[in-house]
Structure 1
Amino acid sequence: MIRDVVHSVKNHANCLLLTERRDHAETLARLLEAESISSVVLRGGMRVRERQTAESQLYKAQVIVATGKYIGEGFDLPRLDVSLPMLERMFRKREKGYKAMGYQFAHSWPKTRLL
Structure 2
Amino acid sequence: MVLTQRTAHLDAILAALHDKGSHPIVLHGRMSRKQRGDRIAELDTLPPDDPRILLATGKLVGEGFNHPPLDTLVLAMPISWKGLLQQYAGRLHREHATKTDVRILDVVDTGHPALLRMWDRRQQGYRAMGYRIAEEDPMR
Residue 45 of structure 1 aligns with which residue? 30
Q: Which has the higher strand share?
A: 1
Q: Which runs of 5+ in 1 are unaligned?
A: 1-15
Deviation string 1:27-78 (CA, Å, 9 cap, x unpaired) is 2112111111121111012113322321222133720000000111222211
Q: Which runs of 5+ in 2 are unaligned?
A: 106-140
Counterpart of 1:18, as a letter, is L
Q: 2:111 maps to which residue?
A: none
TM-score for both structures, normalised by structure 1: 0.67
Measure, in 2, the Cα distance between the counterparts of 1:19 and 1:34: 20
Give distance in 2, aligned partners of 1:27 and 1:44: 17
Letter of the 1:71 counterpart: V
Q: CA deviation at 1:112?
A: 0.4
Moved over 3 A (4+): none
* Distance across 2 between alignment mates of 1:23 and 1:83: 19
From 43, 48, 51, the counterpart of 1:58: 43
> Relative contact order: is structure 1 or structure 2 higher (C-alpha 8 Å, sep ≥ 6)?
1
Question: Which protein is bigger by CA-based radius of gyration?
Answer: 2
TM-score w.r.t. length of structure 2: 0.57
Question: Is the deviation greater in 37-46 or in 25-34?
Answer: 25-34
The alpha-carbon deviation at position 98 of structure 1 amounts to: 5.0
Find the residue that maps to 1:50 and give its secondary structure: helix
- In structure 2, C-alpha distance between the alignment counterparts of 1:74 and 1:33, rounded to whole Å: 28
Distance 2:3 2:42 in 1: 17
Matched-pair contact (CA < 8 Å) for 1:37–1:62: no
Worse overlay, 56-65 or 71-80: 56-65
Per the alignment, do residues 53 and 98 of structure 1 end up closer, same or farther by CA in structure 2, a change over 3 Å counting? Answer: closer
Task: Name the residue aligned to 2:70.
Answer: 80
Match of 1:22 among 1, 4, 7: 7
Residue 70 (1) aligns with residue 55 (2): no
Percent identity between the two aligned chains:
29
